[in-house]
Structure 1
Protein backbone atom coordinates (compact mmCIF):
# COMPACT_ATOMS: atom_id res chain seq x y z
CA UNK A 1 0.00 0.00 0.00
CA UNK A 2 2.88 2.36 0.81
CA UNK A 3 4.36 1.90 -2.70
CA UNK A 4 0.97 2.68 -4.26
CA UNK A 5 0.72 5.93 -2.29
CA UNK A 6 4.23 7.01 -3.31
CA UNK A 7 3.37 6.26 -6.95
CA UNK A 8 0.22 8.43 -6.72
CA UNK A 9 2.16 11.28 -5.12
CA UNK A 10 4.81 11.12 -7.86
CA UNK A 11 2.12 11.23 -10.56
CA UNK A 12 0.45 14.19 -8.84
CA UNK A 13 3.77 16.07 -8.55
CA UNK A 14 4.54 15.35 -12.20
CA UNK A 15 1.11 16.60 -13.25
CA UNK A 16 1.33 19.76 -11.18
CA UNK A 17 4.83 20.62 -12.39
CA UNK A 18 4.43 19.59 -16.02
CA UNK A 19 4.87 22.52 -18.38
CA UNK A 20 1.88 23.51 -20.48
CA UNK A 21 2.10 23.68 -24.26
CA UNK A 22 2.04 27.48 -24.09
CA UNK A 23 4.95 27.49 -21.60
CA UNK A 24 6.91 25.16 -23.87
CA UNK A 25 6.13 27.32 -26.90
CA UNK A 26 7.31 30.47 -25.10
CA UNK A 27 10.47 28.69 -23.93
CA UNK A 28 11.16 27.60 -27.53
CA UNK A 29 10.47 31.13 -28.82
CA UNK A 30 12.77 32.72 -26.25
CA UNK A 31 15.47 30.22 -27.19
CA UNK A 32 15.15 31.39 -30.82
CA UNK A 33 16.47 34.81 -29.72
CA UNK A 34 19.87 33.17 -29.15
CA UNK A 35 20.26 32.40 -32.87
CA UNK A 36 21.93 34.62 -35.46
CA UNK A 37 19.44 34.75 -38.31
CA UNK A 38 19.71 37.01 -41.34
CA UNK A 39 16.31 38.31 -42.44
CA UNK A 40 15.68 36.63 -45.78
CA UNK A 41 12.31 35.47 -47.04
CA UNK A 42 13.43 34.26 -50.47
CA UNK A 43 11.79 31.23 -52.00
CA UNK A 44 13.77 28.10 -51.12
CA UNK A 45 13.00 24.50 -52.06
CA UNK A 46 12.86 22.51 -48.85
CA UNK A 47 12.16 18.93 -47.82
CA UNK A 48 8.65 17.83 -46.92
CA UNK A 49 7.58 17.12 -44.21
CA UNK A 50 9.72 18.80 -41.54
CA UNK A 51 11.49 20.96 -44.09
CA UNK A 52 13.20 24.20 -43.14
CA UNK A 53 15.15 26.94 -44.84
CA UNK A 54 18.84 27.15 -43.88
CA UNK A 55 19.20 27.88 -40.15
CA UNK A 56 21.06 31.15 -40.74
CA UNK A 57 18.14 32.76 -42.61
CA UNK A 58 14.50 33.37 -41.81
CA UNK A 59 11.61 35.77 -41.39
CA UNK A 60 8.88 36.28 -38.79
CA UNK A 61 7.00 33.12 -39.77
CA UNK A 62 10.16 31.05 -39.34
CA UNK A 63 10.30 32.07 -35.66
CA UNK A 64 6.80 30.62 -35.22
CA UNK A 65 7.51 27.52 -37.35
CA UNK A 66 10.77 26.72 -35.57
CA UNK A 67 9.27 27.34 -32.13
CA UNK A 68 6.36 24.97 -32.78
CA UNK A 69 8.77 22.41 -34.23
CA UNK A 70 10.43 22.22 -30.78
CA UNK A 71 7.03 20.97 -29.54
CA UNK A 72 6.92 18.31 -32.27
CA UNK A 73 4.40 20.32 -34.33
CA UNK A 74 5.21 20.62 -38.04
CA UNK A 75 3.32 23.63 -39.36
CA UNK A 76 4.65 22.93 -42.85
CA UNK A 77 2.79 19.62 -42.97
CA UNK A 78 -0.30 20.80 -41.08
CA UNK A 79 -0.79 23.90 -43.21
CA UNK A 80 -0.17 21.93 -46.40
CA UNK A 81 -2.66 19.19 -45.52
CA UNK A 82 -5.37 21.69 -44.58
CA UNK A 83 -4.70 23.88 -47.62
CA UNK A 84 -4.77 20.88 -49.94
CA UNK A 85 -8.17 19.82 -48.59
CA UNK A 86 -9.56 23.39 -48.30
CA UNK A 87 -7.65 25.54 -50.79
CA UNK A 88 -10.40 28.15 -51.11
CA UNK A 89 -10.27 28.79 -47.34
CA UNK A 90 -6.75 30.21 -47.81
CA UNK A 91 -5.82 33.52 -49.48
CA UNK A 92 -3.20 32.08 -51.86
CA UNK A 93 -5.34 32.46 -54.98
CA UNK A 94 -6.55 35.94 -54.05
CA UNK A 95 -3.19 37.35 -52.93
CA UNK A 96 -0.61 35.47 -55.02
CA UNK A 97 -2.75 34.13 -57.90
CA UNK A 98 -1.89 30.52 -57.06
CA UNK A 99 -4.02 27.55 -58.06
CA UNK A 100 -2.40 24.86 -55.92
CA UNK A 101 -0.43 24.36 -52.73
CA UNK A 102 3.35 24.68 -52.42
CA UNK A 103 5.01 22.88 -49.49
CA UNK A 104 8.09 25.10 -49.87
CA UNK A 105 6.41 28.41 -49.01
CA UNK A 106 2.73 28.16 -47.98
CA UNK A 107 3.46 27.84 -44.25
CA UNK A 108 5.97 30.73 -44.41
CA UNK A 109 3.29 33.27 -45.37
CA UNK A 110 1.53 35.19 -42.60
CA UNK A 111 -1.88 35.30 -44.36
CA UNK A 112 -1.82 31.50 -44.68
CA UNK A 113 -0.88 31.08 -41.02
CA UNK A 114 -3.76 33.40 -40.09
CA UNK A 115 -6.16 31.20 -42.06
CA UNK A 116 -4.71 28.04 -40.51
CA UNK A 117 -4.85 29.33 -36.91
CA UNK A 118 -8.41 30.57 -37.48
CA UNK A 119 -9.46 27.18 -38.84
CA UNK A 120 -7.52 24.87 -36.50
CA UNK A 121 -6.92 26.92 -33.37
CA UNK A 122 -8.78 29.68 -31.58
CA UNK A 123 -9.26 33.07 -33.17
CA UNK A 124 -9.50 35.51 -30.27
CA UNK A 125 -10.71 39.07 -29.99
CA UNK A 126 -8.33 41.84 -30.89
CA UNK A 127 -7.98 44.14 -27.91
CA UNK A 128 -6.10 47.26 -26.91
CA UNK A 129 -5.71 45.82 -23.40
CA UNK A 130 -2.41 44.06 -22.66
CA UNK A 131 -4.14 41.77 -20.13
CA UNK A 132 -6.09 40.12 -22.97
CA UNK A 133 -2.93 38.62 -24.49
CA UNK A 134 -1.69 35.48 -22.76
CA UNK A 135 1.71 33.89 -22.86
CA UNK A 136 1.86 31.58 -25.88
CA UNK A 137 -0.70 33.52 -27.92
CA UNK A 138 0.10 34.43 -31.50
CA UNK A 139 -0.44 37.95 -32.77
CA UNK A 140 -0.39 39.25 -36.34
CA UNK A 141 0.04 42.83 -37.44
CA UNK A 142 -0.03 44.89 -40.62
CA UNK A 143 3.17 46.89 -40.80
CA UNK A 144 3.70 49.94 -43.03
CA UNK A 145 3.66 49.18 -46.76
CA UNK A 146 1.07 46.41 -46.17
CA UNK A 147 3.64 44.00 -44.77
CA UNK A 148 2.00 41.27 -42.65
CA UNK A 149 3.88 40.23 -39.51
CA UNK A 150 3.54 37.57 -36.79
CA UNK A 151 4.99 37.02 -33.31
CA UNK A 152 4.62 35.00 -30.12
CA UNK A 153 3.44 36.56 -26.86
CA UNK A 154 5.73 35.68 -23.94
CA UNK A 155 5.44 35.72 -20.16
CA UNK A 156 8.02 38.54 -19.97
CA UNK A 157 6.67 42.05 -19.28
CA UNK A 158 8.21 45.29 -20.46
CA UNK A 159 9.42 47.17 -17.35
CA UNK A 160 7.96 50.55 -18.40
CA UNK A 161 4.78 49.69 -20.29
CA UNK A 162 3.86 46.43 -18.57
CA UNK A 163 3.01 44.98 -21.99
CA UNK A 164 3.79 41.34 -22.63
CA UNK A 165 6.97 41.11 -24.69
CA UNK A 166 6.88 39.50 -28.13
CA UNK A 167 9.38 37.20 -29.83
CA UNK A 168 9.44 38.04 -33.52
CA UNK A 169 11.76 38.76 -36.43
CA UNK A 170 11.13 42.12 -38.02
CA UNK A 171 14.47 42.29 -39.81
CA UNK A 172 17.22 41.87 -37.22
CA UNK A 173 16.75 38.19 -36.43
CA UNK A 174 14.62 36.76 -33.63
CA UNK A 175 14.25 39.37 -30.88
CA UNK A 176 12.27 39.94 -27.67
CA UNK A 177 10.57 43.33 -27.99
CA UNK A 178 7.76 45.52 -26.65
CA UNK A 179 5.96 45.09 -29.97
CA UNK A 180 2.38 44.28 -29.03
CA UNK A 181 0.87 47.69 -29.78
CA UNK A 182 3.57 48.97 -32.17
CA UNK A 183 1.44 48.37 -35.29
CA UNK A 184 -2.14 47.59 -36.25
CA UNK A 185 -3.08 44.17 -34.85
CA UNK A 186 -4.84 42.04 -37.47
CA UNK A 187 -5.17 38.76 -35.60
CA UNK A 188 -4.96 37.12 -32.18
CA UNK A 189 -4.76 33.32 -31.95
CA UNK A 190 -4.21 30.45 -29.58
CA UNK A 191 -2.99 27.13 -30.94
Structure 2
Protein backbone atom coordinates (compact mmCIF):
# COMPACT_ATOMS: atom_id res chain seq x y z
CA UNK A 1 0.00 0.00 0.00
CA UNK A 2 1.24 3.48 -0.72
CA UNK A 3 2.16 6.20 1.75
CA UNK A 4 -0.96 7.86 0.63
CA UNK A 5 -3.77 8.75 2.92
CA UNK A 6 -1.92 11.48 4.73
CA UNK A 7 0.15 12.88 1.90
CA UNK A 8 -2.69 12.59 -0.59
CA UNK A 9 -4.79 14.75 1.70
CA UNK A 10 -2.53 17.58 0.61
CA UNK A 11 -4.20 17.51 -2.81
CA UNK A 12 -7.43 18.52 -1.16
CA UNK A 13 -5.69 21.16 0.93
CA UNK A 14 -4.57 22.77 -2.29
CA UNK A 15 -8.06 22.49 -3.75
CA UNK A 16 -9.63 24.22 -0.83
CA UNK A 17 -7.19 27.07 0.00
CA UNK A 18 -6.90 24.92 -28.57
CA UNK A 19 -4.88 22.56 -29.81
CA UNK A 20 -6.65 20.07 -32.04
CA UNK A 21 -6.31 16.70 -30.39
CA UNK A 22 -6.12 13.17 -31.63
CA UNK A 23 -6.17 9.72 -30.09
CA UNK A 24 -2.76 8.24 -29.47
CA UNK A 25 -1.95 4.90 -31.10
CA UNK A 26 -1.62 1.67 -29.17
CA UNK A 27 0.39 2.10 -25.98
CA UNK A 28 3.01 -0.36 -27.21
CA UNK A 29 3.97 2.02 -30.03
CA UNK A 30 3.56 5.59 -28.72
CA UNK A 31 3.71 8.32 -31.33
CA UNK A 32 6.02 11.34 -31.25
CA UNK A 33 3.63 13.48 -29.22
CA UNK A 34 3.20 10.78 -26.60
CA UNK A 35 6.94 10.20 -26.39
CA UNK A 36 7.53 13.93 -25.98
CA UNK A 37 4.92 14.23 -23.24
CA UNK A 38 6.16 11.24 -21.26
CA UNK A 39 9.77 12.20 -21.83
CA UNK A 40 9.17 15.54 -20.15
CA UNK A 41 7.17 13.94 -17.35
CA UNK A 42 9.99 11.45 -16.76
CA UNK A 43 12.50 14.31 -16.51
CA UNK A 44 10.66 15.50 -13.42
CA UNK A 45 11.59 12.30 -11.56
CA UNK A 46 14.57 13.09 -9.34
CA UNK A 47 13.98 16.85 -9.79
CA UNK A 48 10.62 17.36 -8.10
CA UNK A 49 11.35 15.80 -4.72
CA UNK A 50 8.60 17.13 -2.49
CA UNK A 51 4.97 18.15 -2.30
CA UNK A 52 3.86 21.67 -1.39
CA UNK A 53 0.11 22.41 -1.39
CA UNK A 54 0.38 26.02 -0.26
CA UNK A 55 -1.33 28.74 -2.29
CA UNK A 56 1.26 30.66 -4.32
CA UNK A 57 1.23 33.86 -6.33
CA UNK A 58 2.35 32.84 -9.81
CA UNK A 59 3.51 34.72 -12.85
CA UNK A 60 1.22 34.69 -15.87
CA UNK A 61 1.39 33.09 -18.33
CA UNK A 62 3.72 30.13 -17.73
CA UNK A 63 3.67 30.66 -13.97
CA UNK A 64 5.11 27.92 -11.78
CA UNK A 65 6.47 27.15 -8.34
CA UNK A 66 10.09 25.94 -8.07
CA UNK A 67 10.59 22.66 -9.92
CA UNK A 68 11.91 21.01 -6.78
CA UNK A 69 8.37 20.89 -5.43
CA UNK A 70 4.74 20.99 -6.54
CA UNK A 71 1.46 19.08 -6.40
CA UNK A 72 -0.11 16.30 -8.44
CA UNK A 73 -1.44 18.66 -11.12
CA UNK A 74 1.99 20.23 -11.65
CA UNK A 75 3.28 16.96 -13.12
CA UNK A 76 0.75 17.24 -15.94
CA UNK A 77 1.06 21.02 -16.33
CA UNK A 78 4.86 20.90 -16.62
CA UNK A 79 4.87 17.97 -19.01
CA UNK A 80 2.55 19.75 -21.47
CA UNK A 81 4.51 22.99 -21.21
CA UNK A 82 7.87 21.39 -21.76
CA UNK A 83 6.77 18.98 -24.48
CA UNK A 84 4.49 21.22 -26.54
CA UNK A 85 4.58 24.77 -25.19
CA UNK A 86 0.95 24.29 -24.09
CA UNK A 87 0.28 26.42 -21.02
CA UNK A 88 -2.60 24.93 -19.04
CA UNK A 89 -2.49 27.90 -16.69
CA UNK A 90 -3.47 30.18 -19.56
CA UNK A 91 -5.78 27.68 -21.27
CA UNK A 92 -7.79 26.98 -18.12
CA UNK A 93 -7.87 30.63 -17.06
CA UNK A 94 -9.15 31.82 -20.43
CA UNK A 95 -11.79 29.10 -20.59
CA UNK A 96 -12.92 29.86 -17.05
CA UNK A 97 -13.19 33.57 -17.80
CA UNK A 98 -15.46 32.82 -20.74
CA UNK A 99 -17.37 29.93 -19.14
CA UNK A 100 -17.08 30.36 -15.38
CA UNK A 101 -20.45 28.78 -14.63
CA UNK A 102 -19.36 25.55 -16.32
CA UNK A 103 -16.63 24.96 -13.73
CA UNK A 104 -16.97 23.59 -10.18
CA UNK A 105 -18.05 26.16 -7.61
CA UNK A 106 -16.83 24.27 -4.55
CA UNK A 107 -14.25 26.86 -3.49
CA UNK A 108 -16.61 29.82 -3.14
CA UNK A 109 -14.87 31.92 -5.78
CA UNK A 110 -16.83 34.52 -7.72
CA UNK A 111 -14.29 34.83 -10.52
CA UNK A 112 -11.31 32.88 -11.89
CA UNK A 113 -7.99 32.91 -10.06
CA UNK A 114 -5.10 32.33 -12.44
CA UNK A 115 -2.78 31.47 -9.55
CA UNK A 116 -4.61 28.30 -8.58
CA UNK A 117 -7.43 27.31 -10.95
CA UNK A 118 -5.26 25.16 -13.24
CA UNK A 119 -3.72 23.40 -10.22
CA UNK A 120 -7.07 22.02 -9.04
CA UNK A 121 -7.92 18.53 -10.27
CA UNK A 122 -11.68 19.14 -10.73
CA UNK A 123 -10.93 22.18 -12.90
CA UNK A 124 -8.57 20.19 -15.11
CA UNK A 125 -11.21 17.49 -15.41
CA UNK A 126 -13.76 20.07 -16.52
CA UNK A 127 -11.35 21.65 -18.98
CA UNK A 128 -10.41 18.32 -20.55
CA UNK A 129 -14.05 17.30 -20.82
CA UNK A 130 -14.80 20.60 -22.55
CA UNK A 131 -11.93 19.83 -24.94
CA UNK A 132 -13.76 16.60 -25.85
CA UNK A 133 -10.83 14.62 -24.49
CA UNK A 134 -12.85 12.42 -22.14
CA UNK A 135 -12.74 8.63 -22.57
CA UNK A 136 -14.68 5.80 -20.92
CA UNK A 137 -13.54 4.65 -17.50
CA UNK A 138 -12.54 1.00 -17.53
CA UNK A 139 -11.10 -1.68 -15.28
CA UNK A 140 -9.17 -3.14 -18.22
CA UNK A 141 -5.51 -2.12 -18.13
CA UNK A 142 -5.09 -2.14 -21.92
CA UNK A 143 -7.73 0.58 -22.26
CA UNK A 144 -5.27 3.04 -20.74
CA UNK A 145 -2.73 4.09 -23.35
CA UNK A 146 0.60 5.79 -22.88
CA UNK A 147 0.11 9.53 -22.48
CA UNK A 148 -3.45 9.27 -21.16
CA UNK A 149 -4.44 11.40 -18.18
CA UNK A 150 -6.19 9.65 -15.30
CA UNK A 151 -7.89 11.14 -12.23
CA UNK A 152 -8.81 9.33 -9.03
CA UNK A 153 -11.00 9.73 -5.98
CA UNK A 154 -8.77 8.86 -3.03
CA UNK A 155 -11.69 8.96 -0.63
CA UNK A 156 -13.21 11.74 1.42
CA UNK A 157 -13.43 14.03 -1.59
CA UNK A 158 -9.67 13.90 -2.17
CA UNK A 159 -8.75 13.87 -5.85
CA UNK A 160 -5.53 13.00 -7.67
CA UNK A 161 -4.16 13.13 -11.23
CA UNK A 162 -1.35 11.43 -13.15
CA UNK A 163 -0.06 10.40 -16.57
CA UNK A 164 -0.10 6.85 -17.93
CA UNK A 165 3.46 5.79 -18.73
CA UNK A 166 4.62 3.52 -21.56
CA UNK A 167 6.21 1.13 -19.08
CA UNK A 168 4.13 -1.50 -17.31
CA UNK A 169 4.12 -4.17 -14.63
CA UNK A 170 4.84 -7.82 -15.42
CA UNK A 171 1.11 -8.38 -15.87
CA UNK A 172 0.81 -5.47 -18.35
CA UNK A 173 -0.66 -2.85 -16.04
CA UNK A 174 0.74 0.55 -17.09
CA UNK A 175 2.65 2.54 -14.52
CA UNK A 176 1.67 6.09 -13.59
CA UNK A 177 3.87 9.19 -13.41
CA UNK A 178 2.54 11.34 -10.59
CA UNK A 179 3.23 13.18 -7.33
CA UNK A 180 1.17 11.97 -4.41
CA UNK A 181 3.40 13.37 -1.70
CA UNK A 182 7.05 12.41 -2.15
CA UNK A 183 7.82 14.16 -5.42
CA UNK A 184 7.36 12.98 -8.98
CA UNK A 185 7.57 9.19 -9.24
CA UNK A 186 6.66 6.32 -11.55
CA UNK A 187 4.51 3.79 -9.68
CA UNK A 188 1.94 1.02 -10.03
CA UNK A 189 -1.08 3.13 -9.08
CA UNK A 190 -3.64 2.73 -11.88
CA UNK A 191 -6.20 0.59 -10.07
CA UNK A 192 -5.16 1.46 -6.52
CA UNK A 193 -8.03 3.94 -6.17
CA UNK A 194 -11.38 4.65 -7.79
CA UNK A 195 -10.87 6.16 -11.24
CA UNK A 196 -13.12 9.17 -11.86
CA UNK A 197 -11.66 10.49 -15.10
CA UNK A 198 -9.86 9.21 -18.20
CA UNK A 199 -8.64 11.61 -20.89
CA UNK A 200 -6.53 11.68 -24.04
CA UNK A 201 -5.37 15.13 -25.12
CA UNK A 202 -2.43 15.19 -27.50
CA UNK A 203 -1.64 17.63 -30.32
CA UNK A 204 -1.86 16.23 -33.83
CA UNK A 205 1.15 18.33 -34.79
CA UNK A 206 3.21 18.98 -31.71
CA UNK A 207 4.63 22.53 -31.76
CA UNK A 208 8.14 23.19 -30.55
CA UNK A 209 8.30 23.97 -26.83
CA UNK A 210 8.34 27.67 -26.02
CA UNK A 211 10.71 27.14 -23.10
CA UNK A 212 12.75 24.45 -21.45
CA UNK A 213 12.53 22.99 -18.00
CA UNK A 214 13.26 25.32 -15.15
Normalised by the length of structure 1, the TM-score is 0.86
Q: Distance in 2 between matches of 1:79 and 1:99?
A: 16
Deviation per residue, 1:21-55 (Å, 9 max, x gap): 12211111111112143111110001000100122
Q: What corresponds to 1:35 in structure 2?
A: 47
Question: SS of the counterpart of 1:143?
Answer: strand
- Tell whether 2:137 aligns with 1:126: yes
Question: SS of the counterpart of 2:163?
Answer: strand
- Runs of 4+, deviation exceeding 3 Å: none
Q: Paired residue for 2:97, among 67, 84, 96? A: 84
The RMSD of aligned alpha carbons is 1.3
After TM superposition, list the pairs within 5 Å mapping 1:103-114 onto structure 2: 103-114=114-125
Q: How many residues align?
A: 171
Deviation per residue, 1:99-128 (Å, 9 max, x gap): 100010000000000000101141000000
Give the greater-gyration-radius structure (CA).
Answer: 1
Q: What corresponds to 2:87 in structure 1?
A: 74
- Tell whether 2:107 aligns with 1:96: yes
Q: What corresponds to 2:27 in structure 1?
A: none
In structure 2, the gaps of 5 or more residues are 1-29, 202-214
- Tell whether 2:187 aligns with 1:177: yes
The structure whose residues are more often helix, as a share, is 1
Q: Distance in 2 between matches of 1:47 and 1:121?
A: 28
